Chains A and B, each alone.
Chain A
């Protein structure tokens, strides 16, 4: 659990950590768009430098980011192999016992790889520097204008924050159920296929049942405390916009503009 780098919050105190989540979410979206503009290796080079700069500003270890990209490595290698077989355009790079590898195969894979890596870096920076709850608040505020289009911004945010609140509780409960079933002879390591299925059922069913009960109790408690889903309510946690956040957004837009310019110029 502790080793999953992708999506995990790192409690550090950097400039980026302190920024308003709304600004960070928006910047991330803008940068993601910038990554998809076909600005060639020059464009990606600039983007990579900028993004690594942000990583350094956020005091995240490069090591951490590399771990975040590990899951992709397998897929990219696989992609490289497929492309080498399928793409036979461009100039000949090497000829191994009659098997020809062409440049386009390599460059296309690299292209995709670089895009993916930049995407992962940007999203990891967001989740690593923003507490899940602050992210939720940010999402709620950003979705708010869409309420007129019937997007239930507040309800979505409420669901996410309750889910987040219960993750540690659910983990504890899973542990308890596992131990209880282990006491009844459940052994996840050994056993025939059917036994393993029963073993998994003996974990999942109780979790589901207790989660449903929990949901019912929570709904009662929320209603009893005056919660009405569609009604207006105020919010304890307020997000404050600062000049730094505006700078962040403007910088992101500039990068986007730059990428567009480069792609047109090509």
Chain B
């Protein structure tokens, strides 16, 4: 059973002068077992959309199917907790959610809340810390002693330790330096490729979409404009222009070279392949 939005609308502050339709009649399916990027300009509804996946928000209209559960607008879904154990949501700038005395305690907070036994929680947490690249020496440190990037990794470990089937990340690389960004994205891809998790990433970075994601969903002003696979997405020049999307550099260069008549294959998505192709053509 996939993840699906069926004619979902969401209104903030209904009945007040600030009422605002963040999502308008959205219907889209999210493929399990893939890395899906959710893109759109600020205010397009991306964060609102993903917060429906673990029932932080309930739809004003329509229904959301998540794994084996249906979330309706009218009813308060019982057992929200078990849903939140299966769909792990990492907010933007998650380093702000750390609060425990030590890092290991903070990472264990999530699993313990979901009723996992202490020993098991400890094992999972130590493992999660290793996965995000922090070794045992970090376990007893205070979260406040860490750098921003390290804190973020602790926060993510906190969600990984819950071992959700679906991982949703809202702009996980915001404010990170280039290296930090790359290792973060690699981590998420690993979650998908090695651990089979369904990964959803809300992002602005087209390079990341190209390099790490399988599918992409485009939102604009509360509506889903498009859902397609990444390669096809970046092949369509007109579409990218229409959506006002700045393509990854490799795509721009490929385009410019093709404009000059080089007939490069549109499947070329990285520098190495481009260089090989060009080198192959040199007389």
Contacts and interface: CB of A to CB of B under 8 A. Distances in A.
Contacts of B114: 185
Interface string B135-170: 000000000100000000000001100100000000
A180 interface: yes
B31 interface: no
A187 interface: yes
A153 interface: no
A195 B99 CA distance: 14
Contacts of B88: 183
B91 interface: yes
B113 A186 contact: yes
A209 B144 contact: yes
A242 B171 CA distance: 53
Given A185-B110, A185-B114, A206 B96 contact: yes
Contacts of B99: 201-202, 205-206, 209
A239 interface: no
Contacts of A186: 113
B51 A179 contact: yes
B113 A183 contact: no
Interface in B220-273: none
B56 interface: yes
Given A180-B97, A206-B97, A206-B98, A185 B113 contact: yes
Which of B96, B97, B162 has the most chain A CB atoms inside 10 A of its CB?
B97
B36 interface: no
A133 interface: no
Contacts of B91: 176, 179-180, 183
A54 B51 CA distance: 48
Interface in A19-43: none
A180 B94 contact: yes
A261 interface: no
Nearest to A178: B56
Interface string B24-56: 000000000000000000000000000100101
Contacts, number: 58
A4 B162 CA distance: 39
For chain B, give the interface size range.
20 to 34
A260 interface: no
Nearest to A2: B16
Interface in B179-216: none
B97 A198 contact: no
Interface string A151-191: 00000000000000000000001001101111111110000
A198 B51 contact: no
Interface in B102-135: 109-110, 113-114
B84 A182 contact: yes
A195 B114 CA distance: 11
Interface string A102-128: 000000000000000000000000000
A158 B54 CA distance: 42
B56 A179 contact: yes
B69 interface: no
Contact of A184 (B80, B96, B144, B162): B162
A251 interface: no
Nearest to B164: A183
Identify which of B88, B110, B113, B159 gathers the most chain A CB atoms within 10 Å of its CB. Answer: B113
A210 interface: yes
Nearest to A185: B113
B85 interface: yes
B217 interface: no
Given A177-B97, A180-B96, A184-B110, 7 more contacts: A173-B96, A182-B84, A183-B159, A185-B113, A187-B81, A201-B99, A202-B99
Return the 4 tightest CB-CB contacts between A and B, nearest first.
A185-B113, A205-B99, A184-B110, A180-B97
Interface of A: 173, 176-177, 179-187, 195, 198, 201-202, 205-206, 209-210
Interface of B: 51, 54, 56, 80-81, 84-85, 88-91, 94, 96-99, 109-110, 113-114, 144, 158-159, 162
26 contacts: A173-B96, A176-B96, A179-B91, A180-B94, A180-B97, A182-B84, A183-B54, A183-B90, A183-B91, A183-B159, A184-B84, A184-B113, A184-B158, A184-B159, A185-B84, A185-B85, A185-B114, A187-B81, A187-B113, A198-B109, A201-B99, A202-B97, A206-B96, A206-B98, A209-B98, A210-B96
